[in-house]
C-alpha cells in the first residue's frame, strides 16, 4: 500500500499542496498534521508508523516534513526498516531511504535540515536582540481599551471572574491588568 505523510508547522499553514502531490503519487491513505517537526511526539506520524505493514511504502514530499533532527529522522527510518516498510522522500529523487545509498543521502539531508532549523532560530534570536537593543517593542502591544474597561468594571465592584467572562478575556489578563488592586 502507498501511504502518504504531510505536515506543516502551524495551523495557519495549508496542507493542500502536499496532499495533492501525494494523491497524484497514488497514495491510498494520507496522514496529515499541523505540528512542529521538532517534536517526535506527533500523533499522526506515530499512527502512520503503527499502521504501516511489511511491503507498504511511505511517501513524503520533502525530507523536512518528516523530521527536523538527524536523530529523529534516523529513528523513524529504522522503525520503518524494521517493519519492512519502504520510505521514499521525493525531494531526494525518489530514492528508497532503506537502501544503502538512500540511507547516506537521507542522513546527509537530515543533517542539513537540522542545521537550517538551528540557523532559523539563531536569526530570530538575533533579530529580537537587535530590536531590543534599539529600544524597539517585542511582543504584543497593550490593548488600552480592554485594560481601561477592566479597571472600570473592577472600580464598579465587579469581581475578576465576571470581568473576564463579560469582556471575553482570560482571568490572567484581568489579574495582570489589576496587579495588586484587590
With a CB cutoff of 8 Å and minimum separation 6, the contacts of 80 are 49, 52, 58, 86, 87, 98
CA 147/CA 131 separation, integer angstroms: 26
Active site residue 9: yes
In the chain, alpha helices (H) = 16-24, 43-51, 63-66, 70-83, 100-133, 144-155, 160-167, 171-178
Exactly one of 9, 19, 110, 170 is catalytic; which is it?
9
Please give the positions annotated as active site: 9
Amino acid at each position: 500500500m502507498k501511504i502518504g505523510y504531510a505536515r506543516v508547522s502551524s495551523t495557519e499553514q495549508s496542507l493542500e499542496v502536499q496532499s495533492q502531490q501525494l494523491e497524484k503519487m497514488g497514495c491510498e491513505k494520507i496522514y496529515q498534521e499541523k505540528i512542529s517537526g521538532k517534536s517526535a511526539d506527533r500523533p499522526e506520524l506515530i499512527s502512520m508508523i503503527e499502521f504501516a505493514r511489511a511491503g507498504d511504502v511511505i511517501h513524503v514530499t520533502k525530507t523536512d516534513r518528516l523530521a527536523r533532527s538527524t536523530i529523529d529522522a534516523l529513528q523513524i527510518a529504522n522503525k520503518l526498516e524494521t517493519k519492512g516498510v519502504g520510505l521514499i522522500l521525493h525531494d531526494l529523487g525518489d530514492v528508497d531511504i532503506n537502501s544503502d545509498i538512500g540511507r547516506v543521502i537521507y542522513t546527509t539531508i537530515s543533517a542539513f535540515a537540522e542545521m537550517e532549523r538551528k540557523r532559523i532560530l539563531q536569526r530570530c534570536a538575533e533579530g529580537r536582540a537587535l530590536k531590543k537593543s534599539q529600544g524597539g517593542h517585542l511582543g504584543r502591544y497593550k490593548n488600552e481599551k480592554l485594560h481601561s474597561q477592566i479597571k472600570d468594571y473592577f472600580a464598579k465592584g465587579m469581581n475578576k471572574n465576571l470581568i473576564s467572562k463579560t469582556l471575553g478575556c482570560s482571568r490572567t489578563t484581568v489579574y495582570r491588568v489589576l496587579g495588586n488592586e484587590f
